[in-house]
Amino acid sequence: MERFSVATRYREEMINITRNLEELVIARGWRDGALLVFCPHTTAGLTINEAADPDVQTDMTLFMKKLVPKASTFRHTEGNSDAHIKSSLLGPHCLVIVEESRLCLGTWQGLYLCEWDGPRTRQVWVKFLPGS
């Protein structure tokens, strides 16, 4: 298993980690299979979404803030229940096909670490699953 860190700057943001994954595939010589990408944090998650227009990440972040606002009515005493809920809505993992040492993503797609309780330094764990 491989790991890398991502430093977030804001409480809520989406950081494109596609390049990190592409570099890892090339550096390790992985050819055909899949990447299991996992975020071992309860207040951050992963998603695949559009990478061409940064307004998509802005819209996603604003929507999540509206959908699950930070509220003093939550019982969790750390004050970040909204981050736990947002993380659960997106999930902690993504699976990406690798073919001929390239990530198989759609034309506009990228893989994002979604921070909901930053700024923090987050870990991303990556397991290569070789193809047959």
Structural domain that includes position 29: 2-130
- Could you tell me the CATH number of the domain that includes residue 25? 2.60.120.460
From its phi and psi, is residue 31 left (phi > 0), alpha (psi between -120 and 50) or beta? Answer: alpha
Number of domains composing the chain: 1
Give Cβ neighbours of residue 16 (< 8 Å, ≥ 6 apart): 51, 110, 111, 112
Would the pLDDT of 118 be above 80?
yes
* pTM recorded for the entire structure: 0.95
9-33 per-position pLDDT tens digit: 999 999 999 999 999 999 999 999 9
pLDDT in tens, 40-80: 999 999 999 999 999 999 999 999 999 999 977 888 878 89
b/e burial code for range 57-76 (CB count within 10 A of at least 16 → b): beebbeebeeebeeeeeeee
What does R_g of the chain's alpha carbons equal in angstroms?
A: 15
Helices 81-90 and 55-67, interaxial angle, to 10°?
Answer: 120
